Amino acid sequence: MAYFNETNLVSNAGVVATDVTGVGTSRNTLSACGYGGDKGIFGFGNSGSAVSLTNLVSNAGVVATDTTGVGTARSDIAACKYGGDKGIFGYGYTDDRVSMTNLVSNTGVVATDTTGVGTIRNSLAACEYGQDKGIFGFGDTGPPTNSRVSMTNLVSNAGVVATDTTGVGTARDQLRACGYGEDKGIFGFGRDDSGVTAVTNLVSNAGVVATDVTGVGTARRGPGACSFN
């Protein structure tokens, strides 16, 4: 399997630029989030084995070289902003599914592991909501049942992850999420027990996940998502 590290910048008009030469370790199944109000961070993933290194992104879209990993190396994780200018990586896969999290400061410093809260899983998604909070949702809890779930875990504006909230909508993994409308979020697409899907679930500005919205567009798994404008 080939791994890549190139990036593609997106303008404030939604125009995607051509490939930028990769910086840092090539890998897949990593995650990324914003921090500091105008910067970003890529972290964790799989480069043949799980890693915990990160790469900061400046407010000009320049990706920095690897920062030595902090926390447990893992892949298939999720990340989102919280607190207005901070971030959080959570859950994922090591030799098994895990639920630990790692906070990201408003200067891009990744903290050591915070003891996991909620059901262990990977291939989940996360997004911000309510302007300063976050939510992890859905995913795969793994053997012995390979059970896809629809549960969620809210993240406070202090980065505290809450216990499981009973799932709403179709249980699935390999989906994505992003913020919209300045204070709301959306989960979408992914794979359920019948195959790939295009359904979405809206997240209110109070962190309440709505029931399924009939899928629009091509059903698929492992897409990408972000807010814009």
Report residue 1's pLDDT band, with 50, 70 and 90 as the boundaries: confident
The confidence score (pLDDT) of residue 145 equals 64
pLDDT above 80 (res 210): yes
Distance of alpha carbon 183 from alpha carbon 9, whole angstroms: 24
**Fold entry, domain 31-203:** Neuraminidase (2.120.10)
This prediction's pTM: 0.96
pLDDT, position 8: 94
Question: SS3 breakdown of the chain: % helix, strand, coil, rounded to 5?
Answer: 0, 40, 60
Average pLDDT over the chain reads 95
Instruction: Calculate mean pLDDT across residues 191-205.
Output: 96
* pLDDT value at residue 143: 81
Confidence of residue 222 (pLDDT cuts 50, 70, 90): very high
- Edge-first strand listing for the sheet containing 31-35: 31-35, 39-43, 54-57
Containing 176, the helix (H) or strand (E) segment is: strand 176-180
Q: Which residues of 20-55 are buried (b: 16+ CB within 10 A; e: fewer)?
A: eeebbbebbbbbbbbbbeebbbbbbbbbeebbbbbb
Q: What is the pLDDT of residues 52-84, one digit of tens each?
A: 999 999 999 999 999 998 999 999 999 999 999
pLDDT per residue as tens digits for the range 107-164: 999 999 999 999 999 999 999 999 999 999 999 998 866 699 999 999 999 999 999 9
Nearest to 34 by CA among 65, 67, 56: 56
Q: Is the pLDDT of residue 212 over 70?
A: yes
Buried/exposed code over 178-212 (b: 16+ C-beta within 10 A; e: otherwise): bbbeebbbbbbbbbbeeebbbbbbbbeeebebeee
Lowest pLDDT segment from 9-18, 23-32, 138-147, 150-159: 138-147
